[in-house]
Structure 1
């Protein structure tokens, strides 16, 4: 049976026997993602807190929609068509995930709900956090078979930059992510300094701990003595996905496997990059809805997006959005039993 439920703050779509998704209008947040593992056990494979009050008190973007610009913009400024744009700084000297008051801390409007889909909207006014243009954004969560899909759409009244993504954390078996195997379909990545700002453009993954073209145990990667990993206290890097950069067809970005639960997750997207974040700054100050203190290794974020600091990096794919255009980011989570390809 397929149903949907709504309350004052939450919308639930999907099936109690298939994928079931709970979305909060606050931050257009993925609150819960329940699936049946390959071992036949139903689990909430998302990592987060109990509800809106806890999200408001936290700083970890647990499950939130982040924007206008996901990731970092160096020194909170960039040139746009010959004009200097200054945006709010909330990560030292840098701008992170939309600034002091990003899309993650706004209450989105629920526009439409069906049994398997919910659409939310948000209007960001001209000058919001320093960005030019009024941006009208939509987030559409849907469930089809063994797939959860998130689609972000945005339009603007003035030329601006837009980079929306989901900051969902996952844990496929409830035992943390160290023993999960991660594969990323990328032959290159973006090195960053300790503040997460790109240093030398794009380099090959060859010879680094970030060569994830074949599955590797996440705990081994995080505890590597590789200087790239040490700089960010774990993995917090943008991978340049294999394939074209035109933003058209979906391509597989990553595959995560739990041998414990016999479950595989594949992430597919139309974006050129995938930020892989191993929760390096989860420090125990946030209590999960399971009642445990969240620490590094308790969740894995796989965030399809444009590259960090792309407004200041002419060689990176452009996140510029102009009037009359539509920014479109598609993210699919495809679940299957281990050992077979998700469909």
Structure 2
């Protein structure tokens, strides 16, 4: 099943779909092959985002550099089989959950009842388990509004799916605006108390996927603290100051500057794979700037805004060249990075962390925006 061979069903064009920009007006096109679909979002500026309803995966993001030249800045594949069968399950471009990141020893307790989860990352549970939201087919439909186009995705996770309690009804909207913003809205409800922590797991390389590493990218993270991890990559519970450490991204710096520093935390993660405590104002749920990423070579810039309290910065440490991307080049170590807006890892077992428990009658609602520009 090749994502490049889906038929386009749209009022204004019929033909074979490719992942490269196609001459079409702004809006949404839909490629269809049985229940798997590919949605192409294009704005008036020419920015193009493709999304498949398998795993709610963003398969490409095409944005211009300072000279107006477009490149795909999201790591991924051309064929859906590669997303399904990839070794090491890198979660390229997917929505991950029911709980993004790790839960210690694959279990948590709510109201005195302990819930065992799938253990798929050493002794721990990672990104929703063996069959998380990244590995299921979502219901989807195109949506459009004033100055934006998008796709609305729905999935219902059943009670005890991957061990979690409660039927979880989930909606994720991807909206591409004419200001080159990709807005991601998450909404969920449940019929039993359950932890919910969702994120978007795109790997970015602003020079273009398959085009070298991200070590020269300059990164700012709006955080004065981070959550150190133990040898199994579970938070110790401490909120540590970033000042005077390799984890200080409060001022923009090249990612490669400190990544090889002799540091126990970097040794455990093989680089950066840590949650940063975002600096928030009086309203902890307000949309705030989380990070700013720049590629000096192309001039491309990505700003991340979120209502979430944390940001997991992952520097592509476990990429090892075995995965071949859309450009036909191997994804070597640090050929992409993730900026995952979320709650803190292992929060269900860490009472001092912001709660991730969703109760019946309440609504999980969060927003993250990726804003692209060029200097």
Q: Tell me the TM-score normalised to structure 2 length.
A: 0.87
- Partner SS state of residue 270, structure 2: coil
Following superposition, the deviation at residue 194 of structure 1 comes to: 3.1
Instruction: Give the match for residue 322 of structure 2.
Output: 285
- Asked if the contact 2:272–2:313 (Cα under 8 Å) also holds between the matched residues in 1, the reply is yes
Counterpart among 51, 55, 60 of residue 90 in structure 2: 60
- Partner SS state of residue 260, structure 1: coil
What CA distance in whole angstroms lies between the structure 2 residues aligned with 1:154 and 1:138?
6
* Residues 328 and 11 of structure 1: CA distance in aligned 2, closer, same or farther (over 3 Å): same
1:191-340 equivalences in 2 (<5 Å): 191-244=228-281, 247-338=284-375
- Asked if the contact 1:139–1:150 (Cα under 8 Å) also holds between the matched residues in 2, the reply is yes
- Partner SS state of residue 229, structure 1: helix
* Residues 185 and 163 of structure 1: CA distance in aligned 2, closer, same or farther (over 3 Å): same
Following superposition, the deviation at residue 18 of structure 1 comes to: 2.9
Instruction: Give the match for residue 166 of structure 1.
Output: 200
Q: Tell me the TM-score normalised to structure 1 length.
A: 0.95
What CA distance in whole angstroms lies between the structure 1 residues aligned with 2:219 and 2:363?
32
What CA distance in whole angstroms lies between the structure 2 residues aligned with 1:278 and 1:16?
32
Equivalenced residue count is 338
Instruction: Give the match for residue 2 of structure 1.
Output: 26
1:85-138, Cα deviation, whole Å (9 max, x unpaired):
111110111000000110000011113433711001001001111100000111
Instruction: Give the match for residue 341 of structure 1.
Output: none
Instruction: Give the match for residue 22 of structure 2.
Output: none
* Residues 47 and 245 of structure 1: CA distance in aligned 2, closer, same or farther (over 3 Å): farther
* Unaligned ranges ≥5, structure 1: 339-343
1:53-132 equivalences in 2 (<5 Å): 53-58=81-86, 59-114=89-144, 116-132=149-165
* Residues 35 and 183 of structure 1: CA distance in aligned 2, closer, same or farther (over 3 Å): same
What CA distance in whole angstroms lies between the structure 2 residues aligned with 1:11 and 1:173?
24
- Asked if the contact 1:37–1:337 (Cα under 8 Å) also holds between the matched residues in 2, the reply is yes
Following superposition, the deviation at residue 246 of structure 1 comes to: 5.2
The structure with the largest alpha-carbon Rg is 2
What CA distance in whole angstroms lies between the structure 2 residues aligned with 1:210 and 1:225?
12
What CA distance in whole angstroms lies between the structure 1 residues aligned with 2:122 and 2:213?
29
1:40-55 equivalences in 2 (<5 Å): 40-55=68-83
What CA distance in whole angstroms lies between the structure 1 residues aligned with 2:187 and 2:332?
32
- Asked if the contact 2:45–2:180 (Cα under 8 Å) also holds between the matched residues in 1, the reply is no
What CA distance in whole angstroms lies between the structure 2 residues aligned with 1:204 and 1:17?
41
What CA distance in whole angstroms lies between the structure 2 residues aligned with 1:17 and 1:336?
11
Following superposition, the deviation at residue 39 of structure 1 comes to: 2.6
What CA distance in whole angstroms lies between the structure 2 residues aligned with 1:267 and 1:290?
26
- Partner SS state of residue 246, structure 2: coil
- Asked if the contact 1:165–1:329 (Cα under 8 Å) also holds between the matched residues in 2, the reply is no
Following superposition, the deviation at residue 247 of structure 1 comes to: 4.9
Following superposition, the deviation at residue 285 of structure 1 comes to: 1.6
1:198-221, Cα deviation, whole Å (9 max, x unpaired):
124211111210000011111223
Q: What's the Cα RMSD here?
A: 1.4
Instruction: Give the match for residue 55 of structure 2.
Output: 27
* Residues 282 and 16 of structure 1: CA distance in aligned 2, closer, same or farther (over 3 Å): farther
Instruction: Give the match for residue 140 of structure 1.
Output: 173
Bigger CA drift: 309-318 or 325-334? 325-334
- Partner SS state of residue 265, structure 1: strand
What CA distance in whole angstroms lies between the structure 1 residues aligned with 2:258 and 2:293?
14
What CA distance in whole angstroms lies between the structure 1 residues aligned with 2:237 and 2:137?
38
What CA distance in whole angstroms lies between the structure 2 residues aligned with 1:210 and 1:284?
26
* Unaligned ranges ≥5, structure 2: 1-24
- Partner SS state of residue 27, structure 1: coil
Counterpart among 180, 190, 195 of residue 156 in structure 1: 190
- Asked if the contact 1:279–1:298 (Cα under 8 Å) also holds between the matched residues in 2, the reply is yes
What CA distance in whole angstroms lies between the structure 1 residues aligned with 2:125 and 2:325?
26
What CA distance in whole angstroms lies between the structure 2 residues aligned with 1:112 and 1:13?
9
